[in-house]
Structure 1
Amino acid sequence: MSTAARPASFDRTHTDDLIAYLSASPSPFHAVASAAERLEKAGFRRVAETDAWDAAAGGRYVIRGGALIAWYVPEGVGPETPFRVVGTHTDSPNLRVKPIPDTGTAGWRQVAVEIYGGVPLNTWLDRDLGISGRLALRDGRAVLVQIDEPLLRVPQLAIHLDRQVNEGLKLDKQRHLTPIWGIGEVTEGSLIEYVAEKAGVAAADIVGWDLMTHDVQPPSYLGKDRELLAGPRLDNLLSVHAATAALAAVAGAELPYIPVLAAFDHEETGSESDTGAQGPLLGNVLDRSVYARGGTPEDRARALAGTVCLSSDMGHAVHPNYSERHEPGHHPMPNGGPILKVNVNNRYATDAVGRAVFAAACEKAGVPWQTFVSNNAMPCGTTIGPITAARLGITTVDCGIAALSMHSARELCGADDPYLLASAIKAFLEG
């Protein structure tokens, strides 16, 4: 663990911008659009996967659905130049709208939803929810929609009708998580008509949708000294934001590597999709970057052999009310700096070589860092790290920041950690 001291006072500009990013990114599609907007301001330009790519220096990015790959080609690099990749994901557990959404019972109008990812179901009860996502139109366009109004709510059963609720809440995913949004007769097509109106399109032109719910309560600082940050989708938009800021900051510099941001979708459901880490998107972008610079398969092999990936995802802070569930020798704390995530069963990809790369980046950035290891009796989750390492055969290290309430509708972390993580990522990309 690093002994570097955390600065006594902090400029919260980075965290303020993170709050704005979280508010503008209720869905993966909005997350990549918001990140792309920041990259555009830094001089990056969007390229289409269907176009030929050139060898010119500069920043580029591609968007496919809820995934974004961005990279910066420094002046004078060869086709065999290795990459420095920061891997993140744009999706978060939530409730997603079913293909036939209009439903109801007992005089209530409701919206049919499906559970996405590993959701602590009780955290979605009694919250004011909006709807966001994308609409697919008949002419082939995809339109983003974001309704931040308190539109839906999943009401909890009153304690008078469930006297044993405090002995253990049992929620049925099919019966108990259906939000209400009105009273009266259920009318087919009414939800999509409402969403279409908000999106400024005709309901008859909508042929498909990827819609999801989000808590409309905005992110905010928390505590007497505002030293904590509470908000939705910290897992893992905090890492996407940090990596975007770091990539924009190194663009234009003379670098020994080609810095890359890989923000994947569908990590929370296993990454098996064309926009997930198990898909070919990142590999295709890296290959095409090599070949656009006149490279050969030999150059590609050399480039990947020298490539390192920093998989950045949220980790667990020690919970004060459940400290016995954590590994007793490893208690990461908020505002203690980024955490190195280690698991010898390869649920995380970190090994000794990756640890050295991570430690060097934190040392260069002048930020402290911590280590996370799961309690042996509590199997840990996983990340895109092992997937990326296995798919591309590249050295990969897993990191993140310490947080509470992971996967809840609203999560909690240190307010200084987002900047500390971004600083470490910037140092990593600089090599």
Structure 2
Amino acid sequence: MDMVNTPAENFNKQLAEFIDGSPTPFHAVANIATLLLEAGFQVLSESEDWTLKQGEKYFVTRNGSSIIAFVAGSEDLAESGIRMAGAHTDSPCLMVKPQPEMLNNKYFQLGVEVYGGALLNPWFDRDLSLAGRLVYSDVSGQLKQKLVNFDEAIAIIPSLAIHLDRTANKDRTINSQTDIPPILMQAEETTDFRELLAQHFLSDNEKVMDYELCFYDVQGAAMVGLKKEFFAAARLDNLLSCFVATKALINADTVSTSVLVCNDHEEVGSVSSVGADGPFLESVVDRLCNELCPGERASNKARVLDGSLLISCDNAHAVHPNFADKHEAGHKPELNGGPVIKVNSNQRYATNGVTSSLFRQLCDQVDVPVQSFVTRTDLGCGSTIGPVTAAKLGIPTLDVGIPQLAMHSCRELTGALDPERLSRVLTRFFNQPGRLQITVGG
């Protein structure tokens, strides 16, 4: 596998820049917005009336952590439906608590809360930085917000030496309250964290009111392996899908109406005003239908959704060579083996035979291999925004993902070929004219 000057290599360089610059959902949405603006998309506000024009491209954000972008296609919306691709902007991490200051044996530490189902062991002995959103009061007393990032290693969570825990390699467990507060510095007395933030990020007479900050590993994305066939980075689940789908939408033509939705809070259940189980996407779809197919609104919306398709993109579990028995026989996705169709009869994934067939056809059309995954019956199965969105909108849906290893670690691994492949499939999906359907009957 020679990755030099290939479409995949060029794609991965852009992917690495995006992931390294997006340590939080707020930064991810800001960077997606920048890519869209550069591609000619126009900014909309939920608080204003929309006047949409066919052939134009738009996006809207909510809370700075979720974003929906769309192309208002020239085809009759009620006849052709909407092509949707979905992903999520959040990843498991360590969030700073509201009153986090700790002084233990002359070490200044911050209390953290585990966000999502994080794999905690890899967080030890990493060079950590801190990023997120500040809300502050300016000199006139007006509340404002800004994205912040220390951009360098300012903290670490040292492991306990094996000499002090001889059974560490056998049965060490992690107490998420006491074992993982990061060390920031040595100190004789505690430091007010809000004042520390103000010193670094605000001007004189500005005051930190509150924040949403998380630690992240400063090691950047990299191509690894003797043949550079692997791509390693933080937050591949699911910034990889966000970037892949964004690039596909940018490459979409203006014939079909195409939508990209990147929701926050998937890792904690999606139940929020900006999550997939909230009203954000449904609100945008309603406004799209009202603008692009006025008339009997309820009837038109039902027709639109019946002819639509949502591809929920969230990474899949590749087979681990050291733990291959954790996979169902016959369902062992490989890195660089192509995107994976994820199936679960208990509706943890929203795929059915019709939607999976449509995706397989798209892959065939652009010469991309496709794999499938179903979890072992005796193991639990994760979920995605797919079933949640399908239930909210009643839209035909399937779940797909790029295979990866080390899911929910602070550093994850995927194949170097697969991100560009999935973006190619999604571009074909967005550019597929006419109504997406399978004819009933023999």
Distance in 1, matches of 2:414 and 2:313, equals 15
Partner of 2:147: 144
Structure 1 residue ranges without an equivalent (≥5): none
Residue of structure 1 equivalent to 2:287: 288
**Bigger shift: 46-55 or 204-213?**
204-213
Question: Which letter does structure 2 place at the counterpart of 1:30?
Answer: H
**Is the Cα contact below 8 Å between 2:71 and 2:254 reproduced in 1?**
no
Q: 1:268 to 1:328 in 2, by over 3 A?
A: same
Residue of structure 1 in register with 2:102 after alignment: 103
| CA distances 1:148-169 after superposition (whole Å, capped 9, x unpaired) | 2111111111101100001122
Residue by residue over 1:148-199, the C-alpha shift from the partner in whole angstroms, topping out at 9 and shown as x without a partner, is 211111111110110000112211010001000011134342x333333333
CA–CA separation in structure 2 for the residues paired with 1:285 and 1:147: 35
Paired residues of 1:47 and 1:60 also in contact (CA < 8 A): yes
How many Å apart are 1:10 and its aligned residue?
3.0
Q: In structure 2, what is the equivalent of residue 192 of structure 1?
A: 194
Q: 1:144 aligns to what SS in structure 2?
A: strand
- 1:176–1:396 CA distance, 2 compared to 1 (3 A): same
1:61 aligns with 2:64: no
2:6 to 10, 21, 34: 10
* Corresponding position of 1:170: 173
Give percent identity, aligned residues only: 40
Distance (whole Å) between structure 2 residues aligned to residue 186 and residue 381 of structure 1: 44
The one-character-per-residue Cα deviations of 1:373-421 (angstroms, maximum 9, x if unpaired) are 1111111101011101111101000000110000000000001111011
The equivalent of 1:386 in structure 2 is: 387
2:99 partner SS: strand
Cα 1:209–1:201 shift into 2, 3 Å: farther
Shift in Å, 1:425: 1.1
From 209, 212, 222, the counterpart of 2:211: 209
CA contact (8 A) 1:197 1:203 kept: no
Assess if the C-alpha contact under 8 Å between 2:335 and 2:415 holds in 1: yes
Residue aligning to 1:331: 332
Give the drift of 1:277. Answer: 0.2
Q: Is the 8 A contact 1:144 1:199 kept in 2?
A: no
Name 2:270's counterpart in structure 1.
Answer: 271
Name the residue aligned to 1:245: 247
Counterpart residue identity of residue 64, structure 1: R
What's 2:24 paired with? 27
Aligned to 1:82: 81
Q: Give the match for residue 52 of structure 1.
A: 49
Give yes or no for the alignment of 1:117 onto 2:116. Answer: yes
Match status 1:425 vs 2:423: no
Q: 1:75 to 1:186 in 2, by over 3 A?
A: farther
Distance in 2 of aligned mates of 1:185 and 1:265: 39
Partner of 1:357: 358
- Tell me, in whole angstroms, the C-alpha distance in 2 between the residues paired with 1:400 and 1:376: 20
Secondary structure of 1:381 counterpart: coil
Q: How far apart, in 1, do the equivalents of 2:326 and 2:23 lie?
A: 31
CA contact (8 A) 1:82 1:306 kept: yes
> Using the alignment, how far apart are the partners of 2:92 and 2:3 within structure 1?
34
Report deviation, 1:56.
1.1
Partner of 1:306: 307
Residue 416 of structure 1 pairs with residue 412 of structure 2: no
Query: Normalization by structure 2: what TM-score?
Result: 0.92
Change (3 A) 1:76 1:372: closer
CA shift, 1:426, in A, is 1.0
Question: Deviations along 1:190-237, whole A, 9 cap, x unmatched?
Answer: x33333333344584221111001100101010111110111000000
Instruction: Show structure 2 runs of 5+ residues with no match.
Output: 433-442
Alignment deviations for residues 103-151 of structure 1 (CA, whole Å, 9 cap, x no partner): 1211110011100000111111111110011011232322001122111
Contact 2:95 2:213 in 1 (8 A): yes
Partners in 2 of 1:220 and 1:76 — Cα distance? 41
Aligned residues of 1:337 and 1:367 also touching (Cα < 8 A): yes
Secondary structure of 2:150's counterpart equals strand
Which of residues 175, 184, 195 in structure 2 aligns to 1:181? Answer: 184
SS in structure 1 of the partner of residue 151 of structure 2 = strand
Match in the other structure for 1:91:
90
Q: 1:203 to 1:299 in 2, by over 3 A?
A: farther
Distance 1:104 1:339 in 2: 47
Q: Aligned in 2, Cα 1:306/1:79: closer, same or farther, shift over 3 Å?
A: closer
Contact 1:318 1:333 in 2 (8 A): yes
Secondary structure of the 1:97 match is strand
| Alignment partner of 1:42 is 2:39 | yes
